[in-house]
Structure 1
Amino acid sequence: MTMTMPKVLICANPSFGVRWVKAEQKSKLGAVAQVLELESTTRDEFFKDCKGKYQGVVGIYHHNDSSAAVGKFNQEFIDALPPSVKYIVHNGAGYDQIDVDACTARGIQVGHTPKAVDHATATTGSFLAISALRQFYRAEVNIRNGNWKSGLKPAYDPEDRVLGIIGMGGIGTIMAHQLMAFGMSVIYHNRREIVPSPDFACEYVPALSDLLARSDVVSLNLPLNEHTRGMFGAEQFAQMKDGAVLVNTARGAVVDEPAMIAALQSGKLASVGLDVYPDEPRVNPTLLAMDNVTLLPHVGTETSDTQRKMELLVLDNLISAVTGKGLINLVPEQQRNHDHPA
């Protein structure tokens, strides 16, 4: 008797689907599952299709660009999924577009792609730190406007500056290595000290306020969740050195944006380097008008090499799941429950 293969839905933008994975590598998943492409172009259409063509789907590949068609995977969305769905794997390290609590309540495991994004995101953070210190954006505006060095003031070398990393995971660790090559020293703050200690010179600072008081550049490398949303605000900016720099490649909503802009306007912050914003793709016009900040349009992982690694890791997770081996990369909230069941 022929066994029916489990169904997996590729939930990416219907216009182009999975972008970087070659057909023969995508066929790895096709060897163990019936692969369906997202065809729904609206959220309502998707909900109807969940009662039709998507019935029986066991796993879902989630890409952020699917939100253009079907929106976020919030509780309403999760509750509308076919009861057969057991796995959702997100293409990315951050997964705030997915309501993990709603998934957990329905017995759906959620995966993501840590490590695959580390180098590309760290490189973005390091670029933002150097650009903010050296004021390279302001210099570029000058030359593009035909002003050469007119009006430019001397900026700052990274050498002998202190880099304070909030959230020393994979991305923070690589960023530390990269900026140490520019002569920076590294301190970090996590909920707990890393044990065993990292294999490079760095110092754990238990109190966030102490890290802020000592750092010339503060880098945010932490996920967005109910505990971190808006956690970096006026109190934290007041604790920073005068003329310090903030770099954010995590999520825009981790920072209280009005407080950050006030710190820039007062001179408390010399500059910021941002790849993320609280209301993407909208960027606050006040930030756009400032020539002492470096802004990128959330391109931290936008390289063909990293996109390919991320997509292949999603496929590997789904292959592992539908063949009975479980997800390779459970999100931390569910991993904790998996490691320490009640």
Structure 2
Amino acid sequence: MPSEKPRLIRSIRLPVAAEKRIETDFIAPPPPDAPLDTPALLALAEKEQASAMLVTHHSPLRGADVAAIPACVKLVATVSVGLDHLDVPALLARGIKVSNTPDVLTDCNADLTMMLILAACRRAAEYYTLMKNGWGHTLGMDEMLGLRVSGKTLGIVGMGRIGQALARRARGFEMKVLYHNRRRLDPAQEEGATYFETLEDMLPHCTILSLHMPGTQGAPPLMTARTLGLLPRGSVLVNAARGSLVDETALIDALRSGHLFSAGLDVYQNEPHPNPRLLALPNIFMTPHTGSATVETRTAMSMLALDNVAALAAGKPLPSPVTA
């Protein structure tokens, strides 16, 4: 007699191909109409006696949440590369395996970051607003001028997979690339970029700064009034990593004063309700945390999460385990 299919739950509806795979290969309740919060996720896991939970940042598992996970759950598979919504040490201490989805979202996140750079430098939000309002007058030679991206100096904070992919794209714009990382990479991984041991030493050289560090729960912002002040006047800040990396009050002040020419943001301190003062600024281009939001990438992320569930059920090593 064939063994029972693995039992799982997910906190959010997945792309079509992944949902079809769940119907075929797993035992699972229907996908939720809206993302489940943590209490609803835990209640569903208990009800369904699921051996695995597929989660996203909508359902953080920290502190008391980890202790409340039903004993039936043996794997938390996050459909993300980031782990700041999970207390990984606590999960592992309970004997619950953890997996994530690295690599498959690298290119789309780097693509979106390049879009933010171009849109912030070339005043895309302001141009779009002007056109939606009917345009109405020919622009003069000195009106609504943006910044040329080609040839600028780009500073990358966090030279992991996405940082390296962005550096490759920046080379196509003949940009000079600098980077700051916890450690210097092997030359083969540097993508021709120049390493700075300290952030403070790098910032004065950056016309454009792009953040690619993971977020840490409770850590102070990386970009504060002091560090923003080290950037040259008229520079551009881009953040497609984590909203917690930026002091938004300091960012607003820098954008209003003209110290920053503009910003491109995909992430915010308060999601999905960004600071209204940010929304009111004309010199900012904003997207709603959509770095991986393509059919190809979200499908690949979901499939990798399901691969981990299938491996667990088969007693095989997880394809993308998180071990610390």
* Worse-superposed segment, 40-49 or 139-148: 40-49
Task: Name the residue aligned to 2:162.
Answer: 171
User: Which structure 2 residues correspond to residues 58-97 of structure 1 after superposition, within 5 A?
Assistant: 58-64=51-57, 67=58, 71-97=59-85
Q: Is 2:17 the counterpart of 1:21? A: yes
User: Which structure 2 residues correspond to residues 1-342 of structure 1 after superposition, within 5 A?
Assistant: 2=1, 4-5=3-4, 7-13=6-12, 17-22=13-18, 25-26=21-22, 29-30=25-26, 34-37=27-30, 47-51=42-46, 53-55=47-49, 57-64=50-57, 67=58, 71-147=59-135, 148=137, 149=139, 152-198=143-189, 200-226=191-217, 229-331=220-322, 334-335=323-324
SS in 1 for 2:130: helix
In the alignment, the residues of structure 1 paired with residue 41 and residue 314 of structure 2 have an alpha-carbon distance, to the nearest angstrom, of: 26
Task: Give the drift of 1:193.
Answer: 0.7
C-alpha distance after superposition, 1:262-319 (max 9, x if no partner): 1112211111000111111111111111111101111211111111111111111222
In the alignment, the residues of structure 1 paired with residue 315 and residue 129 of structure 2 have an alpha-carbon distance, to the nearest angstrom, of: 55
1:289 to 1:183, Cα distance in 2 relative to 1, 3 A: same
In the alignment, the residues of structure 1 paired with residue 109 and residue 40 of structure 2 have an alpha-carbon distance, to the nearest angstrom, of: 35
Q: Stretches of 4+ moved more than 6 A in 1?
A: 38-42
In the alignment, the residues of structure 2 paired with residue 165 and residue 227 of structure 1 have an alpha-carbon distance, to the nearest angstrom, of: 23
Task: Give the drift of 1:25.
Answer: 3.8
SS in 1 for 2:189: coil
Task: Give the drift of 1:20.
Answer: 2.9
8 A Cα contact 1:217 1:247, kept in partner: yes
In the alignment, the residues of structure 2 paired with residue 44 and residue 198 of structure 1 have an alpha-carbon distance, to the nearest angstrom, of: 42
Task: Give the drift of 1:50.
Answer: 4.7
Task: Give the drift of 1:75.
Answer: 2.4
TM-score (norm 1): 0.84
* Worse-superposed segment, 311-320 or 95-104: 95-104
Task: Give the drift of 1:152.
Answer: 2.9
C-alpha distance after superposition, 1:8-48 (max 9, x if no partner): 322223xxx33332566446743xxx445567977656555
In the alignment, the residues of structure 2 paired with residue 179 and residue 46 of structure 1 have an alpha-carbon distance, to the nearest angstrom, of: 41
- For this pair of structures, how many residues does the alignment match? 319
* Worse-superposed segment, 132-141 or 216-225: 132-141
1:210 to 1:48, Cα distance in 2 relative to 1, 3 A: closer
Task: Give the drift of 1:62.
Answer: 1.4
1:290 to 1:41, Cα distance in 2 relative to 1, 3 A: closer
Task: Name the residue aligned to 1:340.
Answer: none
SS in 1 for 2:7: strand
Task: Give the drift of 1:115.
Answer: 1.1
RMSD across aligned positions (CA): 2.5
8 A Cα contact 1:11 1:37, kept in partner: no
8 A Cα contact 2:45 2:73, kept in partner: no
In the alignment, the residues of structure 2 paired with residue 134 and residue 44 of structure 1 have an alpha-carbon distance, to the nearest angstrom, of: 44
In the alignment, the residues of structure 1 paired with residue 236 and residue 43 of structure 2 have an alpha-carbon distance, to the nearest angstrom, of: 49
In the alignment, the residues of structure 2 paired with residue 180 and residue 232 of structure 1 have an alpha-carbon distance, to the nearest angstrom, of: 25
